[in-house]
């Protein structure tokens, strides 16, 4: 399966969003930097708690505010919703290639969203210094994406190289991921 080919599938942001939730997301964009922005996004979440557009908006808000613990909560919530719709286990560790194929037949776009959310979670964990947890996710993604279309294997190589270079010194290196 080519995880780069999503030209013939529905994407999460194409799902109809309640008008008021859409208005609140637009309001949050206009109020960015003001506490009112978060309140607008949380109100949108109350109106459409399982809409991925709302969750992506919350994720981005918290990410750019450097509120990484909240980012992980939102990413996990989005993955659980996606997993339920795809008919795959809620726990990413339990997903195998057969389930991946079945999920792709259900909704390739949603499967791709799910896998990218898992990768995003691993990047946030790297930023939090939770290397082992991130590495577990990246290893799972690399095993599921043999052609490395999502870049998890390459990122895993970087993490491993960083860790092995850190073993050469007496000081504990600080891993700082600035962009993904």
Q: For the residues 111-118, what does the mean pLDDT come to? A: 94
Whether 9 shows a pLDDT value over 70: the answer reads no
Q: For the residues 82-89, what does the mean pLDDT come to? A: 96
pTM to 2 decimals? 0.83
Domain that holds residue 26: 12-166
* CATH code of the domain containing 27: 1.25.40.10
Q: How far is CA 76 from the centre of its chain?
A: 8
Among candidates 11, 128, 6, which has minimal Cα distance to 73? 128
* Per-residue b or e along 104-122, where b marks 16 or more CB atoms closer than 10 Å to that residue's CB: beebbbbbbbbbebbbbbb
Model pLDDT, residue 4: 47
Residue 145 included in any domain: yes
In the chain, the number of structural domains is 1
| pLDDT tens figures, 143-163 | 999 899 999 999 999 998 888
| pLDDT tens figures, 115-143 | 999 999 999 999 999 999 999 999 999 99
Residue 4 included in any domain: no
Residue 177 included in any domain: no
Model pLDDT, residue 16: 85
Whether 25 shows a pLDDT value over 60: the answer reads yes
Is the model more confident about 14 or about 103? 103
The sign of the dihedral angle between the CA atoms of 77, 79, 84, 85 is: positive
Model pLDDT, residue 1: 46
Residue 110 included in any domain: yes
Model pLDDT, residue 171: 47
Is the model more confident about 33 or about 6? 33
Give percent of the chain above pLDDT 70.
84
Residue 172 included in any domain: no
Whether 2 shows a pLDDT value over 50: the answer reads no
Whether 14 shows a pLDDT value over 50: the answer reads yes
Q: For the residues 5-24, what does the mean pLDDT come to? A: 75
Residue 7 included in any domain: no
């Amino acid at each position: 399966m080519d995880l780069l080919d999503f030209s013939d599938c529905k994407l999460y942001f194409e799902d109809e969003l309640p008008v008021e939730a859409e208005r609140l997301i637009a309001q949050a964009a206009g109020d960015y930097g003001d506490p009112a922005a978060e309140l607008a996004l949380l109100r949108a979440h109350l109106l459409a708690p399982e809409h991925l557009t709302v969750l992506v908006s919350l994720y981005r808000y918290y990410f750019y505010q450097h509120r990484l613990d909240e980012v992980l909560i939102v990413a996990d919530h989005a993955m659980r919703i996606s997993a339920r719709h795809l008919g795959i286990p809620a726990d990413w560790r339990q997903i195998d290639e057969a389930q991946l194929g079945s999920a792709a037949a259900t909704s390739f776009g949603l499967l791709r969203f799910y896998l990218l959310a898992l990768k995003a979670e691993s990047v946030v964990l790297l930023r939090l210094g939770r290397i082992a947890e991130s590495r577990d996710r990246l290893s799972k993604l690399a095993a599921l994406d043999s052609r490395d279309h999502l870049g998890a294997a390459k990122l895993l190589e970087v993490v491993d190289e960083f860790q092995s270079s850190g073993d050469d010194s007496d000081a504990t290196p600080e891993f700082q991921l600035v962009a993904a």
